[in-house]
Amino acid sequence: MRSYVDLKFGAKTTLYLLTAAGLATAAADSFHSGDTVNFPPTFLNGVVRSSRSLFTITYCVADYKYSLHGVPADSEEYGRVLSEIHLRSARRVLKLCDTNRGFYVKAGQFVAAARQVPREYSSTLSSLQDQAVPCNFKAVKEVIVKSLGKDLTEIFLSFDEQPVAAASIAQVHRAVLKDHQEVAVKVQYPGLEYQVKLDLATMALLSRSVAWLFPEYRFKWMVSEFTKSIASELDFIQEAKNSERAANNFKRNRIVKIPCVYWDFTSRQVLTMQFCEGQKIDDLEYMKQMGISPLEVANALVDVFAEMIFVHGFLHGDPHPGNILVSSEGANGFSLVILDHGIYKQLSEEFRKNYCNLWEALIRLDSQKIQQLGETFGVGKYARYFPVIFTGRTINSKSVLGRGMPPEEKKHLREELKSLKMEDISSFMESLPPDFLTILRTDGLLRSLMSKLGAPQRTRLLTYAKYALRGLSANASSESVNVASRFKTSIKYIQFRIILGVVELASYADEIGRSLATKLRQLMVSARDQIWSFHSLLLSVN
């Protein structure tokens, strides 16, 4: 615990920050409402947004600092108070995102999708996923004309002024080209690049300020990853290239559909692509109407992303429901339309191989190999938590893959986690390679979608394991590997295949057992009802 002098200094610092932020916000709001100060609109808007952010985050820091003061860190009260502060702060951040809109909504979505943040933040900020206010058409038209150098009438036969989708950085309009091809035109909001630079600078400053006031709370890793992702999203030319590369990777996959790009009408701020019909992947009512099985959709979804991670090493980093559509058109009765290719991660070949090896070790529960790979990934002692993060088992678990932890194992894990402090979590996240952070975010979003589709956890686990095996097999077949090494590796793959086969057989038997038990219960209920009806009939006759 800090000394009285430290606390007194911290109190003064926080008070100064709150006062400065409050004055800045008040001043900015007054400038915004009056005409006496002749600042450029983009600059003025930046001042308002930055001041509001400073005030909100400083208020949250003060809440953490003084609400936890004097509460023993190893007590039950500490956990309860901390959860309450998390919830209060998450609501303040949600209000900030709702007020500042645009880029802040994107930042809130990014935090909500990060499995490494407290549950109170992810659940509260998840409401931002479907929030976006479209820009007026006049401003959108100006961006198109300026970017493409032509008026809309020179390019399109028709252009729907009402957007079919609106997100935090752009909106999409339906249109028809001169050759009668129906297209979707994605247009970046005007003035966004300048605004983002200012907002990112504010976010970096806030991150450093929080780390200074609370050394155990370090979020530089999150700000850094978000900065990289937003920078790539602002360049629609790069997004178009990502789209074409992903389409080429899945050119033999009859379920995946990626809209083709019209390069003549694409720039950094305007992306014109093939228009594809479909509904959000979590729209269960649509699937029911179309006779599409949600479980088959879930299987196809996890197949696609497992192949991206373990085989291609080229990963779509933002698979939320709005970016993946289900279409009733396709060879198997449906297809997955993958949109928004702005955020992609090119995994290094070394990382891809090591990640494949990690999943082999996770399936086998090879604790020695997991710890060894933990050293390779730079996380050291925290590697013991990889099984918990990815498979829901502890490193010394004896439970069957995909069935979760038995009560005794959960109790032991809870006791172990009590000893972890925020400093440990910050150190763990800072030590992870950037590739790992992208995978954690994508995996978190996939888990959420799989849950909505009603798929059991073992579907994802077994699929990941199979594609990890494929990823290793592709490497093993390389001509640079000698015959003896290749033979040894092949034996290893056969062993791994047997393990997966046993696990799949156990899962299949488990499903059959549950199905038979359900049918048996139904038969017993039916028999009981018939006996009761017969008994009632006899009574009525007598």
Instruction: Show which residues are catalytic.
Output: 318
List phi, psi (to 5°) of 343: -100, 105
Q: Which of 176, 183, 128, 133 lies closest to 156, judged by CA? A: 176
Selection from 315, 347, 357 nearest residue 472 by Cα: 357
- 3-state SS, residue 471: helix
Q: How many CA atoms lie within 13 A of 540 on its CB side?
A: 6
Measured between alpha carbons, how far is residue 16 from residues 2, 246, 459 in Å? 20, 50, 53
Strand partners, 175: 159, 183
CA dist., res. 325 & res. 335, Å (int): 8
Please, where are the H alpha helices in 266-366? Answer: 284-290, 294-307, 349-364
Distances (CA, A) of 88 to 125, 174, 213, 320, 459: 12, 41, 19, 26, 36
Q: Could you count the other beta carbons within 10 Å of the beta carbon of residue 513?
A: 10
Question: Would you say the C-alpha torsion 181, 184, 187, 188 has a positive or negative sign?
Answer: negative
φ/ψ (deg, to 5) at 344:
-130, 150
**Residues near 17 by beta carbon (within 8 Å), at least 6 away in sequence:** 54, 58, 61, 209
CA angle 393, 489, 376 (to 5 degrees): 50
Residue 110: both structure tokens together: 């990014």
